[in-house]
Amino acid sequence: MTQARALPDNATEWWIYLGVLVLYLLTRWLLAWNQARREGAEHPVRTAFEDEEPQEAGAGVAAVGAFRSYRQLLGFVAAAVVVTLVAALTEGGVRLALMCTLVPVAVVLLAYLDFRRARTHRLGQGRT
C-alpha cells in the first residue's frame, strides 16, 4: 500500500517549490514594473514594489472558491491538467524536459492572468 506524502522528502523538491514561488513573484513584479514604466512613473521600481492587489469587498467577490474570476480558475485547472498529463504519460528524460519547459510557462501565464485581473480591477475603481 502506498501512502500519500504531505511534504517533500528531500531538499531538491523543496528547491523546486521555492523556485516556482520565486518565478511567480518575479513575473508579477516584472509586469508591475513594466506597467509603471509605461505609465511614466518617476520611480518604476519603487512603484512596482508598492503595487498591491486591491482588497475587494464581500459583495464584489466572485463565488469561485479562492479564485477571483473564472479565467483564473480555468487557467489553474488547465495548467494542472497539462502537468498531470505530462507526469502520468511520460518518463525519464522526456518527462524532465517537458516539466522544465511546461511548468515555468504555466506559472508565468498564471501570474500574467493574476496581474491583468488586478490591473483591470484597479482601473475600474479609478473610474468610479
Cell numbers given for 2: 502506498
The whole domain housing 36 covers 11-52+64-127
Question: Does residue 6 lie within any of the structural domains?
Answer: no
Element (DSSP H or E) covering residue 127: helix 93-127
Q: Which residue has the cell 473610474?
A: 127
**Whole-model pTM?**
0.66
Question: Does residue 57 lie within any of the structural domains?
Answer: no
Question: Does residue 5 lie within any of the structural domains?
Answer: no
Question: Does residue 4 lie within any of the structural domains?
Answer: no
List the one residue out of 29, 106, 31 whose CA is nearest residue 75: 106
Question: Does residue 123 lie within any of the structural domains?
Answer: yes
Residues 6 or more apart whose Cβ sits within 8 Å of residue 111? 23, 24, 27, 28, 31
Query: What pLDDT does 1 receive?
Result: 47
Q: What is the distance between the alpha carbons of residues 85 and 93, in angstroms, rounded to a whole number?
A: 15
The DSSP secondary-structure symbol of 1 reads -
Q: CA separation (Å) from 86 to 3, 20, 40?
A: 22, 17, 42
Blockwise average pLDDT, block size 10, the chain, 128 residues = 59 78 86 85 78 51 59 80 81 84 88 80 62
Question: Does residue 1 lie within any of the structural domains?
Answer: no
Question: Does residue 69 lie within any of the structural domains?
Answer: yes
Domains contained in the chain, number: 1
Question: Does residue 3 lie within any of the structural domains?
Answer: no
